[in-house]
A and B are shown apart, each in its own frame.
Chain A
């Protein structure tokens, strides 16, 4: 019986999850900052401190995310797609659901992963060229509107007819939103429109890879109830958002992979 850690270094935030065997004992999220490795080390140390654990009890560490190769103290690395899949399947099994589609919105990118009935990745699509379908666009929106990111979802739900945002590019969308505000349009309708636009994009990606129930939605923006509703409307299906912190599913997946690797020697992308 042992402890395993997964570290997910995203462009905006670093997420650490700690497992005792297959049970989550703790997780932590912090801004990635400039020095990924330092941040990762710090966050892991803090998490252990919070949990009153010696860091030496951790038998294996797997890093994932775009900064995974920077974390030299990790024992192995794995792509965020694989880690995300493992995390999603784990959360699904906790609630008795077979996950077949994963929608993930990160800070800089968004992706959709299709799984077969064995939980093996069949296909995936990724948007990392444009900010329009990502968390960053939502942050921009908040900045222009002068509201907090946690208010987005609730505000969006107040809209009856969202305003269509036509620009498919985040930069143009920004100026479109500014002009809508200047013309006195309701914030709620603009926000709902922006969510609708993101949902449409993700809907198209989902169609491309093939939509199958159950749909799992994670990443920070999954907390946004307005966005989740827009996605449910677009895909015409219910969506499962993992409880607690949907940002950490990929880190949890990495920790699960750390365990598997230790026990069965599988899933290793590369050993550091």
Chain B
């Protein structure tokens, strides 16, 4: 058997294993009658992973596909240039072993999974990208272009690490402008003032539904599970922004009805948890699944793949092209809570706000093994929460399903102590 044949069979194996994982996740979900009906739209996207992700990305045949990583690549620009963005951050255990051929053991599973999908045809949209934009965010991302450039055309975006200061702003703006040129080259369409304004407004409409969704989630009793919240934002990775916005609007309508009917997805007095740390991407839902199997609710998260995703708005949607580019660059840099930056101030504020708004009783701090940015912030966040009387459970894990039972034991114990505290406060 030659090398090529081996790769082909390896791809087939990973595909099958991924399909089995998708089945394992959606089997119980499909049988759950308490779940909002409108989730089906989002489920469909992930179920395409059983067939190589064909149909996951919502784009016209003629549209160029621009892959993105992290939360810094301006989608407004991609849409304005006539392209379709697809966020490639990956959460599949199956492709980790493929990525390991290119990366050291100590790399985080996210980057391993991403490199795996890029180098082996398992999910077709990884290979179909006409350009992949990688911000030099964490160290793994900084090296990624070099690792995958034989497989897909890539462009690196340099990131300032100290975001305060005019020099950083100016530098980042120049990177955004360079990126604009690169995208224009690929799509063959210029980013004009009116197209950019249109794109900004299109995304703002999505942000309206996003904010509405997160308002609804504050309701008590909770009307949607935290895992499903991860799912709808994860679907934004692949969907066209307008289709996503429409689907979100109908989901929000349904959820509002549930609020009115006091239709809960959890038992009364269910433990309310907030989760933060390294991002979770489908199918890496092991922690939210365990929480919810134990009867708890993940009332909010602070992930770059979910609650942080569409939070920050572009401040200007009028004016000159250069004003808009400036505003776009600022949106992605200044309010970012991403731990690659030198200070945790924004993230600290945001966390405390979320804890308050969603009345979280405890925080789970999730670290993917090898994810240094989040690891390094643990102490600071732990102290912050301690000072504010919020218990925290730190979980370091990867994508392997092997530790699920251990995690269950730890999370269960954590939830029990939170319940105990509740009684203490009452008496």
Q: Choose, from A74-82, A135-143, A161-169, the stretch at the interface.
A: A161-169
Nearest to B401 among chain A residues (CB) is A166
The verdict on A164 contacting B9 (CB below 8 Å), with A183-B31, A233-B16, A238-B1 known, is: no
Contacts of B36 in A (CB 8 A): none
Residues of chain A at the chain B interface (Cβ within 8 Å): 161-164, 166, 183, 193, 196, 213, 233-234, 236-238
Q: Does B13 contact A (CB under 8 A)?
A: yes
- Looking at B19, B20, B24, B50, the one whose CB has the most chain A CB atoms below 10 A away is B20
A236 touches B13 (CB 8 A): yes
Q: Does B6 contact A (CB under 8 A)?
A: yes
Closest-CB distance, B234 to chain A (whole angstroms): 21
Distance in angstroms between the alpha carbons of A161 and B25 in the assembled complex: 13
Closest-CB distance, A237 to chain B (whole angstroms): 7
B9 touches A193 (CB 8 A): no
A234 touches B13 (CB 8 A): yes
Distance in angstroms between the alpha carbons of A147 and B6 in the assembled complex: 35
Q: Which of B9-27 contact A (CB under 8 A)?
A: 9-10, 12-13, 16, 19-21, 23-24, 27
Closest-CB distance, B77 to chain A (whole angstroms): 38
- What is the total number of residues of chain B having a CB less than 8 Å from a CB of chain A? 15
A161 touches B23 (CB 8 A): yes
Contacts of A166 in B (CB 8 A): 24
Q: Which of A163, A183, A233 contacts B9 (CB 8 A)?
A: A233
Query: Which 10 A/B pairs are nearest by Cβ-Cβ distance?
Result: A161-B19, A164-B20, A236-B9, A164-B24, A233-B13, A236-B10, A161-B23, A236-B6, A162-B20, A161-B50
Closest-CB distance, A211 to chain B (whole angstroms): 12
| Main DSSP-derived SS at the B contact region | helix
B6 touches A163 (CB 8 A): no
Distance in angstroms between the alpha carbons of A196 and B13 in the assembled complex: 11
Contacts of B12 in A (CB 8 A): 233
Contacts of A164 in B (CB 8 A): 20-21, 23-24
| Main DSSP-derived SS at the A contact region | loop
Distance in angstroms between the alpha carbons of A160 and B20 in the assembled complex: 10
Instruction: Jot down 7 A-B pairs with beta carbons below 8 A, ordered by A.
Output: A161-B20, A163-B27, A196-B20, A233-B9, A234-B13, A236-B10, A236-B13
Nearest to A185 among chain B residues (CB) is B27
Contacts of B21 in A (CB 8 A): 164
Contacts of A162 in B (CB 8 A): 16, 20
Contacts of B9 in A (CB 8 A): 233, 236
Closest-CB distance, A38 to chain B (whole angstroms): 46
Distance in angstroms between the alpha carbons of A162 and B21 in the assembled complex: 10
Nearest to A196 among chain B residues (CB) is B20
Contacts of A163 in B (CB 8 A): 20, 23-24, 27
The verdict on A237 contacting B20 (CB below 8 Å), with A161-B50, A183-B31 known, is: no
Closest-CB distance, A30 to chain B (whole angstroms): 38
Contacts of B1 in A (CB 8 A): 213, 237-238
Closest-CB distance, A199 to chain B (whole angstroms): 10
Contacts of A233 in B (CB 8 A): 9, 12-13, 16
Q: A161-B50, A196-B20, A237-B1 are in contact. List 19 more A-B contacts (CB 8 A).
A: A161-B16, A161-B20, A161-B23, A162-B16, A162-B20, A163-B20, A163-B23, A163-B24, A164-B20, A164-B23, A164-B24, A183-B31, A193-B20, A213-B1, A233-B9, A233-B12, A233-B16, A234-B13, A236-B13
Contacts of A237 in B (CB 8 A): 1
Nearest to A183 among chain B residues (CB) is B31
Contacts of B6 in A (CB 8 A): 236
Contacts of B24 in A (CB 8 A): 163-164, 166
Distance in angstroms between the alpha carbons of A234 and B14 in the assembled complex: 9
Closest-CB distance, B407 to chain A (whole angstroms): 15
